[in-house]
């Protein structure tokens, strides 16, 4: 089972591989640019070459990109919607340039227009980009969310609806975040509830669409609808859920990526990854 973490791209996207090597990961998630800015300078040929050389040297992969949190493809207002589409198009093209196959995105927030309208808006944006061939070869992974505010994607029915509305199924997949799942009200703490939750996801969308997992414990309790990540086994989810997940044969080849809190030395990543690996049964 390939374990990884979200790594900083400070100093350039190629620098993320040395950081990943430092904490001992097999797979990795990064931002394609500064996630707090709408726009960034295009990659140079040298930056792309350095990225690909470092990936070849470290053999870390696959690499997954997470898009900027500024983007809201479900926005009801045309100004933000168009700005978000342009920014997401840039993210898709950056992935294509680097040879990254997956980009993770939150399904956006309806900000008062209602869930049905927000889901339609999200699908319209994706359909437009896919019809234009933007980022050809890059699969968009809709991430399960905690459901804060007017965020979409916290209920499996939201994901099912998006898979119905998007006309390019080959370019769509799922990223399941354990913290978000739990905060949204889906219990995974016992074998019974774990099985029930994934049976519900399978019925709604199909487990064959799951491409990546985010492994995070939760600071907040079941159904809190609050997104606060905690170290593995130190939050309200506890270790048993992660033991069940990392030993689930259905997911054994999928990237398992932590997004847990960490300091500059990244020792917390090492500790969380070591603990997760210790849960894998031979």
Model pLDDT, residue 228:
98
- Per-residue pLDDT reduced to its tens digit, 180-192: 999 999 999 999 9
> Does residue 1 register a pLDDT over 90?
no
Band of residue 278 on the pLDDT scale cut at 50, 70, 90: very high
Confidence (pTM):
0.97
Q: Which of 34-38, 147-151, 216-220 has the lowest mean pLDDT?
A: 34-38
Q: How confident is the model at residue 48 (pLDDT cuts 50, 70, 90)?
A: very high
- When pLDDT is averaged across residues 95-123 and rounded to a whole number, the result is 98
Average pLDDT over residues 22-49: 96
**Contacts for 267-272 with beta carbons within 8 Å, 24 or more apart?**
268/231, 269/5, 269/23, 269/25, 270/23, 270/24, 271/231, 272/5, 272/231, 272/232
- The pLDDT of residue 219 is 98
The alpha carbon of residue 88 and the mean position of all alpha carbons in its chain are separated, in whole angstroms, by: 14
Whether 268 has a pLDDT exceeding 90, the answer reads yes
**In which band, very low, low, confident or very high, does the pLDDT at 263 lie, cut at 50, 70 and 90?**
very high
Decide if pLDDT at 50 tops 90: yes
Q: Say what the pLDDT of residue 6 is.
A: 98
**How much is the mean pLDDT over the chain?**
98
- pLDDT digits 0-9 by tens, 142-196: 999 999 999 999 999 999 999 999 999 999 999 999 999 999 999 999 999 999 9
What pLDDT, on the 0 to 100 scale, is given for residue 140?
98
CB 275 within 8 A of CB 233: yes
65 has pLDDT over 90: yes
Q: What angle do CA 123, 135, 26 make, to 5 degrees?
A: 105
**Domains (ranges, CATH) in the chain?**
63-249 (3.20.20.150)
DSSP bridge pairs for 212: 175
Residues 6+ apart with CB under 8 A from 62: 27, 100, 101, 102, 255
Q: Which residues contact 3 (CB under 8 A, 6 or more apart)?
A: 25, 26, 27, 256, 257, 258, 273, 276, 277
User: What is the set of active-site residues?
Assistant: 36, 66, 69, 106, 143, 177, 180, 214, 227, 229, 259
pLDDT at position 214 is 98
Rounded average pLDDT over 78-90: 98
């Amino acid at each position: 089972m390939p374990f990884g973490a979200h790594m900083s791209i400070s100093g350039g996207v190629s620098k993320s591989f040395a950081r990943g090597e430092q904490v001992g990961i097999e797979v990795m998630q990064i931002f394609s640019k500064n996630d707090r800015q709408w726009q960034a300078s295009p990659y140079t040929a040298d930056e792309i070459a350095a990225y690909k050389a470092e990936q070849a040297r470290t053999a870390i992969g696959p690499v997954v990109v997470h898009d900027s949190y500024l983007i809201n493809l479900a926005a009801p207002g045309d100004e933000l919607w168009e700005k978000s589409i342009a920014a997401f198009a840039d993210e898709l093209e950056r992935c294509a340039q680097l040879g990254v196959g997956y980009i993770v995105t939150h399904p956006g927030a309806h900000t008062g227009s209602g869930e049905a309208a927000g889901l339609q808006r999200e699908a319209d944006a994706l359909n437009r980009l896919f019809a234009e061939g933007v980022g050809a070869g890059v699969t968009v992974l809709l991430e399960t969310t905690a459901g804060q505010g007017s965020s979409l994607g916290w209920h499996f029915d939201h994901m099912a609806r998006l898979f119905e509305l998007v006309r390019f199924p080959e370019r769509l997949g799922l990223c399941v975040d354990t913290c978000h799942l739990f905060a949204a009200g889906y219990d995974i703490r016992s074998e019974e509830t774990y099985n029930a939750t994934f049976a519900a996801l399978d019925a709604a969308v199909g487990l064959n669409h799951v491409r990546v997992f985010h492994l995070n414990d939760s600071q907040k309790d079941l159904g809190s609808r609050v997104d606060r990540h905690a170290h593995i086994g130190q939050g309200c989810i506890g270790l048993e859920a992660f033991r069940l997940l990392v030993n689930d044969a259905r997911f054994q080849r999928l990237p398992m990526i932590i997004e847990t809190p960490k300091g500059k030395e990244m020792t917390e990543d090492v500790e969380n990854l070591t603990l997760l690996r210790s849960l894998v049964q031979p």
